[in-house]
């Protein structure tokens, strides 16, 4: 897939899905679907913004469900041919809805077709709506498809609108099952195995210490039941801890994974850890032996969950 931040390097003409698409959740996939079905001559293109507009206006770094590397992999799996990351600056933020369509979408990206979600907003002050985009684009002979908001049923009598913010809320409370239902896949952490303090090895539970992208959103601190995919595509069940390891006076949050019934050298490998179930919150134990006993119990619970 071609990835660019310059509109001069874009392959055209384009069929565009427009939005931020953090997470590539089930709602996003409905927005993406129409551009898969366009004529082959139109390049299926996702157009997003960097930095995220909220990060630009707040000046605060934004943690992402899918940092760039993960987003590219997910879009590739959906047969998207091109990702255009428009630099979001004062100039772009000050464009009127009409100018954004005429100058960016039509003149620079040569859009022939555009797909957006029902809640899409654009232009200076976010005054442009999806319906207005459709009206403006029609003046240039460009068709706009508007996808209704998507929901998922988490309980028999409850429906929940799918959104990146709701997924963030679910992860913040440790509800990885709800997050999975909205994403359409398990939330995962991808990182290289690096050397840690090796406390786990001392108490008989060696762990792989993961180095994650600095802008990756971490879920609630605590212990999780996980499935780990190695670089060889082998999948192994395990238990993961996210936290600062208060029992050994740790200061910096770490992500450590213990693989069940497996041993070997993982240093330097990139692991994909898929979160299956939240087991318990982070806690401080009176001794290493008490920590060891709890980890033994965590592993027993994980084995039962995995059957």
Listing DSSP states for 149-187 in one string gives PPEEEEETTEEEE--HHHHHHHHHTT-HHHHHHHHSS--
CATH second-level architecture of 2-149? 3-Layer(aba) Sandwich (3.40)
Whole-angstrom Cα distance, residue 174 to residue 216? 16
Residue range 13-41, pLDDT digits in tens: 999 999 999 999 999 999 999 998 899 99
Q: How far is residue 148 from each of residues 29, 117, 161, 208, measured CA to CA in Å?
A: 12, 6, 11, 42
Q: What is the pTM of this model?
A: 0.90
Q: How far apart are CA 113 and CA 284, in angstroms?
A: 55
Fold of 186-306: Elongation Factor Tu (Ef-tu); domain 3 (2.40.30)
What is the tens place of the pLDDT at every residue in 247-297?
A: 555 556 889 999 998 888 889 999 999 999 999 998 888 788 888 888 899
Tens of pLDDT, residues 177-210: 999 999 999 999 999 999 866 555 555 577 899 9
* Domain range summary for the chain, segments of one domain joined by +: 2-149, 150-185, 186-306
Q: How far apart are CA 99 and CA 96, in angstroms?
A: 5
Residue with tokens 């460009």: 142
Which residues are within 8 A (CB) of 135 and not within 5 positions of it... i.e. 6 or more apart? none
Intrachain domains 2-149 and 186-306 with the same fold: no
Question: Omega before 13 cis (within 30°)?
Answer: yes
Q: Which helix (H) or strand (E) holds 44?
A: strand 43-50
């Amino acid at each position: 897939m071609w990835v660019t931040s310059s509109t001069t390097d874009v392959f055209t003409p384009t069929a565009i899905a427009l939005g931020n698409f953090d997470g590539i959740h089930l709602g996003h996939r409905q927005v993406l679907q129409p551009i898969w079905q366009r004529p082959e001559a139109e390049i299926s293109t996702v157009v997003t913004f960097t930095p995220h507009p909220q990060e630009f206006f707040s000046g605060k770094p934004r943690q992402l469900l899918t940092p760039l590397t993960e987003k590219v992999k997910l879009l590739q799996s959906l047969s998207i041919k091109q990702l255009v990351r428009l630099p979001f600056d004062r100039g772009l933020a000050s464009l009127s809805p009409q100018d954004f369509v005429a100058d960016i979408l039509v003149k620079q990206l040569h859009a022939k077709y555009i797909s957006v979600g029902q809640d899409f907003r654009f232009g200076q002050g976010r005054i442009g709506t999806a319906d207005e985009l459709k009206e403006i684009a029609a003046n240039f002979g460009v068709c706009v498809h508007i996808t209704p908001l998507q929901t998922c049923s988490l309980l028999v009598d409850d429906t929940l609108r799918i959104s990146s913010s709701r997924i963030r809320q679910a992860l913040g409370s440790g509800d990885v099952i709800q997050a999975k239902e909205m994403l359409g896949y398990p939330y995962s952490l991808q990182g290289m195995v690096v050397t840690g303090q090796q406390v786990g090895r001392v108490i008989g539970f060696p762990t792989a210490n993961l180095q994650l992208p600095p802008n990756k959103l971490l879920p609630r601190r605590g212990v999780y039941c996980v499935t780990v995919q190695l670089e060889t595509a082998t999948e192994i069940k395990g238990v993961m801890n996210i936290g600062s390891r208060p029992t050994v006076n740790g200061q910096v949050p770490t992500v450590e994974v213990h693989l069940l019934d497996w041993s070997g050298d993982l240093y330097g490998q990139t692991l994909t850890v898929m979160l299956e179930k939240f087991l318990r919150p982070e806690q401080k134990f009176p001794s290493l032996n008490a920590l060891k006993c709890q980890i033994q119990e965590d592993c027993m619970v994980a084995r039962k969950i995995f059957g």
